[in-house]
């Protein structure tokens, strides 16, 4: 990592891993308990530990004043009726926001706050989404065969709280219905203990 200016070619379909210091890959096995249809999940996992999504991130010091940015690529597919999606997280420093710009593909950003508000926004190429402080976020690829590629920027000291979502889930899920993607209540959502 250098401390000086750096560049990356942020263009859907032209990802040069060497431009990014960090390449994270997440497979089906890391999503235990997150998909509604556990039988479908176990069956799929028994066949292959599929690659669900990847993140390419510019390495910068994780301190206030810095920004982290990169590309998030969610591959197409489903577990049962539920689309491939990211784990989703709150920022550990809850009062930090994030900006996403959709570069290609089609999807949705599922968001919620600890206070009980929720929101689901569509992602199509060119859409810029501001995720305010306090909002957990998860991207879902609702496309049939294309990757969902987004560019993200957030404060470098934000950190990630994955545990809350792993334990409670999101209030809303995106599944494939008769007329396409639909937002449903998550029957397994767990209210936080007081
Ligand atoms: C980080 C930012 C994205 C996600 C990426 C993968 O704050 O929101 O880079 O890390 O979309 O999602 P997740 O939930 O596995 O970190
Ligand atoms: Zn984030």
pLDDT of residue 21: 85
Residue 186 in any domain: the answer is: yes
Q: Is the CB of 141 under 6 A from ligand 1?
A: no
Q: Is the CB of 142 under 6 A from ligand 1?
A: no
Q: Is the CB of 78 under 6 A from ligand 1?
A: no
Choose one of 28, 54, 66, 86 to mutate for the ligand 1 pocket test, by most ligand atoms within 8 angstroms of C-beta. 86
Q: How far apart are CA 57 and CA 5, in angstroms?
A: 15
Calculate the average pLDDT of the chain: 92
Residue 51 in any domain: the answer is: yes
Q: What pTM does this model have?
A: 0.93
Phi, psi of 65 (to 5 degrees): 105, -30
Q: Which of 95, 127, 94 is nearest to 109 (CA)?
A: 127
Q: Is the CB of 155 under 6 A from ligand 1?
A: no
Planar angle of CA 16, 26, 132, nearest 5 degrees: 85
Q: How far is the CA of 135 from the centre of ligand 1 (A)?
A: 13
- Work out the burial of residue 115: count CB atoms within 10 Å of its CB; fewer than 13 is exposed, 13-18 middle, 19 or more buried: exposed
Average pLDDT over residues 164-171: 96
Average pLDDT over residues 86-114: 97
Residue 95 in any domain: the answer is: yes
Which of the four pLDDT bands, split at 50, 70 and 90, describes residue 11? low
Output the domain CATH number for residue 12.
2.60.120.10
Residue 160, pLDDT above cutoff 70: yes
Average pLDDT over residues 37-52: 98
Segment 168-193, tens digit of pLDDT: 999 999 999 999 999 999 999 988 76
Average pLDDT over residues 148-167: 96
Average pLDDT over residues 42-54: 98
- Between β-strands 107-112 and 98-104, what pairing exists: parallel, antiparallel or unpaired? unpaired
The domain tally of the chain equals: 1
**In terms of residue numbers, what domain contains 138?**
7-193
Q: Is the CB of 157 under 6 A from ligand 1?
A: no
């Amino acid at each position: 990592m250098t401390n000086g200016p750096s560049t990356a070619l942020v263009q859907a379909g032209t990802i040069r891993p060497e431009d990014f210091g960090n390449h994270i890959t997440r497979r089906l096995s890391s999503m235990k308990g997150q998909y509604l249809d556990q039988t479908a999940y176990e069956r799929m996992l028994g066949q292959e530990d599929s690659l669900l999504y990847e993140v390419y991130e510019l390495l910068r010091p994780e301190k206030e004043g810095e920004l982290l940015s990169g590309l998030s690529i969610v591959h197409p597919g489903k577990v049962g009726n539920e689309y491939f999606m990211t784990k989703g997280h709150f920022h550990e420093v809850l009062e930090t926001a994030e900006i996403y710009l959709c570069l290609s593909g089609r999807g949705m950003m599922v968001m919620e706050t600890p206070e009980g508000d929720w929101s689901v926004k569509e992602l199509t190429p060119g859409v810029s989404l501001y995720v305010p402080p306090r909002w957990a976020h998860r991207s879902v690829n609702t496309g049939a065969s294309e990757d969902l590629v987004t560019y993200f920027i957030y404060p470098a000291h934000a950190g990630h709280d994955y545990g809350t979502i792993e334990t409670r889930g999101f209030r809303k899920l995106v599944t494939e219905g008769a007329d396409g993607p639909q937002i449903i209540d998550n029957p397994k959502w767990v209210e936080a203990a007081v």
